[in-house]
Homo-oligomer: A and B are copies of this chain.
Amino acid sequence: MPETDTQPGPYTPTDRTVPTRSAQRASYDRALVHSILDESYVCHLGFVRDGAPVVLPTLYGRIGERLYVHGSTGSRPLRMAGRGETAPGLPVCLTVTHVDGLVLAKSAFHHSMNYRSVVVHGTAHPVTDPEELRTALDALVDHVVPGRSYDSRPGNAKELAATAVLRLDLDEVSAKVRTGGPNDDPEDAALPHWAGVVPVQRRYGTPVPAADLDPAIALPDYLAAL
């Protein structure tokens, strides 16, 4: 396990990670944050360009207390983060959200969502060390499909040179979670509307082999298990 995984205790709240609303839903629990991050592989990465916000969906992986965000060397956030060890880095906000349920209340006002989200504030830096880059790319692949990096051809020198990865430390981090049923007002209890929660789930369909795949290559166990 990476050394950074051994850090104990919750993340320290900051002005940016204490929400102004529904503060009771906020959490700084390290295990909760990790579990929310590990259940997805697409984040929404925000950065500032010419003074205006930009939000792009991006693949990420986690190793201990570090996130790795994927990009090509030509992508805007990667170019903006610089390419050298001395680059100042790119201020980012990285957000991951799971929608777990539609919360239907008797009143329109109390309609809500059950969700789990993590918001990470920090400065992203390009990964320049070849060994860290290789490890990060494996983590990115394995974050999407655990075990896959062992069952694909590793990147060669040309591919590694064309791939850029940003590193973002988990330091200024918060989770936000809503669970449970609707919170209707007592005076609405007798209204004739259905109320409750519609669960929302992510589901994997039957894998579709590539058109030119040798039929002798069976579906690997780690995909069948999805």
Contacts and interface: CB of A to CB of B under 8 A. Distances in A.
Interface in A79-106: 79, 91-95, 97, 99, 102, 104-106
A184 B199 contact: no
B195 A210 contact: yes
A130 interface: no
B219 A151 contact: no
Contacts of A95: 44, 55-57
B203 A57 contact: no
A80 to B, nearest CB: 11
- Give the number of times this chain occurs in the complex, counting copies: 2
A121 B49 CA distance: 12
A52 interface: yes
Nearest to A148: B104
A141 to B, nearest CB: 5
B198 A223 contact: yes
A6 interface: no
Interface residues on A, range: 35 or more
A33 interface: no
A159 to B, nearest CB: 4
A144 interface: yes
B210 A94 contact: no
A113 B154 contact: no
Contact of A153 (B59, B106, B201): B106
Contacts of A192: 217
B209 A204 contact: no
Contact of A210 (B20, B108, B182): B182
Contacts of A49: 16
Q: Nearest 5 A-B pairs (CB), nearest first?
A: A199-B205, A44-B44, A46-B55, A46-B53, A57-B97
